[in-house]
Amino acid sequence: MKAVRTIEELRSGIRALQINLGPEATVGLVPTMGYLHEGHASLIRRARKDNGIVVVSIFVNPIQFGPGEDYETYPRDEARDLALAEAEGADLVFLPSVETMYPQPTKTKIMVSDITTRLCGASRPGHFDGVTTVVSKLFNIVQPDKGYFGMKDVQQVAVLQQMVQDLNMNVEIVPCPIVREEDGLALSSRNVYLSEEERRQALVLSRSLREAAAAVSEGTAVTAGDIRNLLKRVISQSPLADIEYAEVVSFPGLQPYPDDEEISRKDEAVLMALAVRFGRTRLIDNRLFNPKEAN
């Protein structure tokens, strides 16, 4: 494995592997912000299985953080990240500086409309513009055949799929399942911010999603309103939880269902999505399910 910091080194590293492996070796890209955990590892493993060449990028992207968010304090551990990426079989790790990614002045941004204004987009204005801009740049730099993204950030997956389709980008977005701790908490680099008590109470996210899916299949929750109420009731049992949203929307369109819409009879994927604050830590989780098959 090779760790590189400049675009030139990365491109020549990819070219060297392509010359070695031949033209049928596809390139898989796993974009991350580092402080890697088992969720990231699962993406790298999937990329390794699918491709001849695996590139992992580690870049805490300043333009996807809003004012007052945790850009400065976002956890970083380069040595541990490189060891994990190597253990999972990455060929190249790209660790650009902010100056490498955003030489001044930059005047171009990629923006996806509509679906970026809901859910996380409502409370984090500009966040998804930062994501689509950096991912477009990484796609242009690496020119991957496939990009690997976790369903933990389900809105990100929907937004990137829309971007790739709208701009005819020659990259397949590969969504990968959410990796959880044994007790159900979705892995996140931000989990390290949680106090012991917050960590315990944070289990309400996954529990509420599980209970809501069960209630739909048992017939005790029928409408979108029933599901929203159930999610909020379960989450509110944790006194430290401050709900930002508990939503029921279509996927990948992310259209909120009206409160009286019968979800239990739907023959399409329905997304339950949560953002909940515990102190200064904002956690997200979601469950995509088919109501007719929910258990």
Rounded to a whole number of angstroms, the minimum distance from the CB of residue 17 to ligand AMP is 22
For tokens 């333009």, the residue is 63
Q: Which is nearer to ligand AMP, 10 or 135 (CB)?
A: 135
Three-state secondary structure call for residue 289: strand
Would you say 13 is a known binding-site residue? no
Q: How far is the CB of 289 from ligand AMP (least distance, A)?
A: 17
The question of whether 40 is a catalytic residue gets the answer: yes
Residue closer to ligand AMP by CB (options 40, 228) is: 40
Tell me the closest approach of the beta carbon of residue 117 to ligand AMP, in angstroms: 20
Asked whether residue 163 is marked as a ligand-binding residue, the answer is no
Q: How many angstroms separate the CA atoms of 67 and 124, rounded?
A: 10
Q: Is 38 annotated as a binding residue?
A: yes
Length of the chain: 295
Determine the distance from the C-alpha atom of residue 80 to the mean position of all C-alpha atoms in its chain, rounded to a whole number: 21
CB of 273 to ligand AMP, least distance (A): 13
Q: Are strands 146-150 and 172-176 parallel, antiparallel or unpaired?
A: parallel
* Half-sphere exposure at residue 159, Cβ-oriented, CA atoms within 13 angstroms: 28
Q: Is the dihedral of CA 220, 226, 231, 237 positive or negative?
A: negative
Sign of dihedral through CA atoms 71, 74, 78, 84? negative
- In angstroms, the CA 127 to CA 257 distance is 24
Q: State the nearest-atom distance from the C-beta of 30 to ligand AMP, in Å.
A: 7
Residue 201 counted as an annotated binding residue? no
Judged by CB, which is closer to ligand AMP: 189, or 201?
189
The residue at minimum Cβ distance from ligand AMP is 150
How far is Cα 203 from Cα 73, in angstroms, rounded to an integer? 24
Closest CB to ligand AMP among 187 and 230?
Answer: 187
Whether residue 188 is annotated as binding a ligand: the answer is: yes
Q: Please give the Cα distance from 103 to 256 (Å, whole number).
A: 39
In the complex, the residues that contact ligand AMP under the rule CB under 6 A are: 32-33, 39-40, 42-43, 149-150, 152-153, 176, 178-179, 186-189
Residue 45, judged by CB atoms within 10 A of its CB (0-12, 13-18, 19+), counts as middle
In the set 40, 46, 48, 127, the catalytic residue is 40
Nearer to ligand AMP, 184 or 225 (CB): 184
Residues that constitute the known binding site for ATP: 33-40, 150-153, 179, 187-190
Residues that constitute the known binding site: 33-40, 64, 150-153, 156, 179, 187-190
Q: Which residues are catalytic?
A: 40
Residues that constitute the known binding site for (R)-pantoate: 64, 156
Residues that constitute the known binding site for beta-alanine: 64
